[in-house]
Structure 1
Amino acid sequence: MSLSQLTRRTVLAAFAASLLAVPAIAEPVTINIGYAAIGVDSRPYAEGTSAATARAGEFLEKEFANDPDVKIEWFFFKGAGPAVNEAFANNQLDFAYQGDLPSLIGRANGLKTKYLLASGARKPLYLAVAQDSDIKSVADLKGKKVAYQRGTNGHLAAIKILEANGLTEKDIQVINLDSAGTVAALTSQDIDAAFGDTPLINLAAKGNAKVIYTTKGDDPRFSRNAGIVGREDFIDKHPEITQRVVDAFVKAAQWSSDEPNRAALFELWHKSGTPVPILEDYFSNDTLAYRNSPLIDDLLVSQYEEQAVKAKEFGLIRRDVSTDGWFEPKYLNAALAKLNLQNFWQSYGANGKPLGS
């Protein structure tokens, strides 16, 4: 055998071996991601969270850009958290951004999900009243028509605020409205007051309402929390894809937490239809890292545990719901290590104070 023939056979053998070493092409996968909110005029964007950044900045699409068999689909829900639970129950979603109360309700009702990372933690809540209203405090809401969307994390936060001011839901006339309906009803003065966030700030900026209270600077337990939850079955079948999904969300959280990006961040969130000045107001006096941290720290876990207890106490959940085994930080921890972000965000203790301070 000539040297050229031997070389040719060696090359062909190596090539054949390399083909055997390549794993089989995976089946096409569509990753369905839900968002428990929707933009102005039903725009498929949101604002105020790192998950909103991941959508508007196409962080997941970029993560899988070189994987033609992986497709990303986003779904935005006017029905907020309760609608996300219904979609999870029908196996229509693999991951979702969702607030604390609806995700706990889903867990209480048997939905098999895992909490993967925080997104939109410590969000403030606002109370606005009609422009010519004489309501000046939470205590003045007694007997008034007050709007908020039932089943959302704003619902539970509102009840806790009422309780702190000596009121219960029975002391007010609860009007169940989404954000768009709330804005319309408050503008026409068909309601007296409403709990919410950026839509109410925007309405007040236009002179059609007055913000008389916000949880900003108040007891941190009145704040709302949210995060990325995933369907257990999908996570178990696709752990590698799950890791890359979490990686993408963590990258979005990092970019959203970097102060030099503040102006660009608000411009990105403006895709939702929320004006930039309203977003500036919404995040005033808060660092981006404080609001966009993905960490599952002691403060976050304790808040969810408290929400579970309060939700049953207020009759929003009929049975006890445990968070044991629900939080799954291994994908988050792997992403933090891979991206060298272990010390990028401050962890907080259950008392609300920074750990190590």
Structure 2
Amino acid sequence: MKFAHIAALIGGLLAIAPASAETLIRIGYPGTGIDDRPYAYGDYVAVANVQQLVEAEFKDVPDVKVTWTFFRGAGPALNESLAAGQLDFAAGLGDLPSIVGRSRGLQTKYLASAGSHDALYLAVPPDSQLKTVEDLRGHKVAQFRGTNLQIATDRVLEKHGLTEKDIRFVSLDSNAATAALVSGNVEASFGGSEYLDLAKRGAVKIIYSTKNDDPTLGRNSGLLVTAEFEKAHPEFTAKVVRAFVKAARFGSDEANRQAVFELWSKAGLPVESFEADFKDEPLAHRLSPVVDDFIIARYKDQAERAKAYGLIKKDVDIDSWFETKYLKQALLDLELKNYWSTFDAKGQKVTEGQVEHTKAASN
């Protein structure tokens, strides 16, 4: 009777217990909008977030919840969260912080490009006498240290005969750097499209852009998953990648240019900033998820530079980091295998994607 009673009790507990525990899919993004708004901009990750495309992939999967976290501290703060086991995916993580994380033992897989050829701008006060990158020697310049902005800036300096030692850098996050520049507390600042609206309003002036320089300059970012999550949930990993590829497809279509800019404006920047940032440039040039020779070369180059600059202490194995099977399957399933152009290691186009044949919207 005792065993029968215990069996009945266990059976009752199983009957009232949930069929399966909830699975969290925790996505981190290395940045925020203006005034810390929980929105991204300038990439397809922002499209996926606003349109809830990842959530839509799991609409028929019970007990799955998707959460998003936006980090004001950018890549370094996101890396800390990864190290603490608080995230499963890093979406839009810049090349330098992801390389630093890998060098320090973070177990991740690089699934897809989340952005490439991202333009870099050099802004100065409107009355500044600085006119070129070379003029920065000895001046006080804002830079978000530890992010992909740092190594992208270092490459620009190198192309123009300078090094970090020639500049009086002040480490400030994007919002603080903008405020410091406008108030005159720094003499220049490297950054992204956030400076274009200020330039239009006469608060700053842009004296340099990577858009008119070497095609290997600029910033790159990726979509990463923790090795633990990918091993435990390969089918969920595939769904997440599929959702982001859908976002990249929408974001790369010139027919959606205005809609994409309006979506990005939720981060607090005006549509006009994105119109200026992407002037005479197809959306697909930056919003491609494809991992081609250009992307691989950029990460290898950044890893070498990070070690040379003392940002990491040991070599980083880049080749074994990339896990593109989910991306390839998503491109095949969604009939997008040849949708985006591919580029060689020097940034020259190798194959022309189908997206190139779509009619570009007027700029």
Query: TM-score, normalised to structure 2's length?
Result: 0.90
Q: Percent identity?
A: 49
Q: Does 1:37 align with 2:57?
A: no
* Alignment partner, residue 44 of structure 2: 50
8 Å CA contact 2:124, 2:188 repeated in 1: yes
3-state SS, counterpart of residue 34 of structure 1: strand
Aligned to 1:59: 53
For the pair 1:347 / 2:337, whether they are aligned, the reply is: no
Aligned to 2:130, the other structure's residue is in SS state coil
Q: Which amino acid aligns with 2:60?
A: N
Deviation of 1:227 after TM superposition, in Å, equals 1.1
**1 CA distance for matches of 2:346 and 2:35?**
39
Q: Quick one: which amino acid aligns to residue 337 of structure 2?
A: Q
User: What is the rounded CA distance, in whole Å, between the counterparts of 1:352 and 1:271 in structure 2?
Assistant: 31
Distance across 1 between alignment mates of 2:37 and 2:61: 27
| Off by >6 Å, runs of 4+ in structure 1 | none
Aligned to 1:207: 202
Q: Which residue is equivalent to 2:134?
A: 139
What is the CA–CA distance in structure 2 between the aligned matches of 1:272 and 1:57, rounded to whole Å?
A: 14
Q: Assess if the C-alpha contact under 8 Å between 1:57 and 1:268 holds in 2.
A: no
Q: Does residue 1:238 correspond to 2:237, yes or no?
A: no
Aligned partner of residue 216 in structure 2, secondary structure: helix
* Aligned residue among 271, 274, 290 for 1:276: 271
User: Matches of 1:302 and 1:163 in 2, distance apart?
Assistant: 18
- Work out the CA distance in 1 between the residues paired with 2:177 and 2:52: 30
SS of the residue 1:72 aligns to: strand
1:70-149 equivalences under 5 Å are 70-97=64-91, 98-149=93-144
Residue from 243, 253, 278 that aligns with 2:248: 253
**1:356 shift after superposition:** 4.3
Deviation at 1:220, TM superposition (A): 1.6
CA distance in 1, matches of 2:71, 2:209: 25
Q: C-alpha displacement at 1:27, in angstroms?
A: 3.0
Paired residue secondary structure (2:27): strand
CA–CA separation in structure 2 for the residues paired with 1:170 and 1:279: 33
Alignment-mate amino acid for residue 331 of structure 1: Y
- Aligned position for 1:169: 164
Q: Which residue of 2 aligns with 1:12?
A: none
Identify if the C-alpha distance between structure 1 residues 188 and 323 changes in structure 2 by more than 3 Å, giving closer, same or farther. same
Deviations 1:232-264, CA, capped at 9 Å, x for gaps: 000000000000000000000000001100001
Residues in 1 aligned to 2:90 and 2:309: alpha-carbon distance in whole angstroms: 26
Contact 2:76 2:97 in 1 (8 A): yes
- Structure 1 residue 67 displacement after superposition: 2.4
Give CA deviations for 1:307-329 in whole Å, capped at 9, x if unaligned: 10111111221211120210100
Q: What CA distance in whole angstroms lies between the structure 1 residues aligned with 2:205 and 2:307?
A: 32
Question: SS where residue 320 of structure 2 aligns?
Answer: coil
User: Which residue is equivalent to 2:218?
Assistant: 223
Choose 1 or 2 for highest CA Rg: 1
- Are 2:318 and 1:323 equivalent residues in the alignment? yes
Output the CA distance in 2 between the equivalents of 1:356 and 1:250.
19
What is the match of residue 150 of structure 2?
A: 155
Corresponding position of 1:13: none
Equivalent residue in structure 2 for 1:263, among 242, 258, 265: 258
Q: Offset of 1:352 from its aligned partner?
A: 1.5
Deviations 1:178-201 (A, max 9, x none): 111011100111100000012211
SS at match of 1:355: strand
Structure 1 unmatched runs, 5+: 1-23
Contact 1:136 1:212 in 2 (8 A): yes
Matched, 1:188 2:160: no
Cα displacement (A) at 1:26: 4.5
Q: Which of residues 191, 197, 202 in structure 1 aligns to 2:192?
A: 197
Q: Secondary structure at the match of 1:131?
A: coil
Q: Specify the code of the residue in structure 2 equivalent to 1:63.
A: E
CA distance in 2, matches of 1:134, 1:63: 53
Partners of 2:143 and 2:282 lie apart in 1 by: 27
Contact residue 115 and residue 222 of structure 2 kept, 8 A: yes
CA distance in 2 between partners of 1:219 and 1:110 (Å): 32
Check conservation: 1:183, 1:203, Cα contact below 8 A. no
Superposed CA RMSD in Å reads: 1.2
Aligned equivalents of 1:285, 1:27: Cα separation in 2: 50
**CA displacement 1:90-138 (0-9 Å, x = unmatched):** 0100001200000000000010001001112110100001111000000
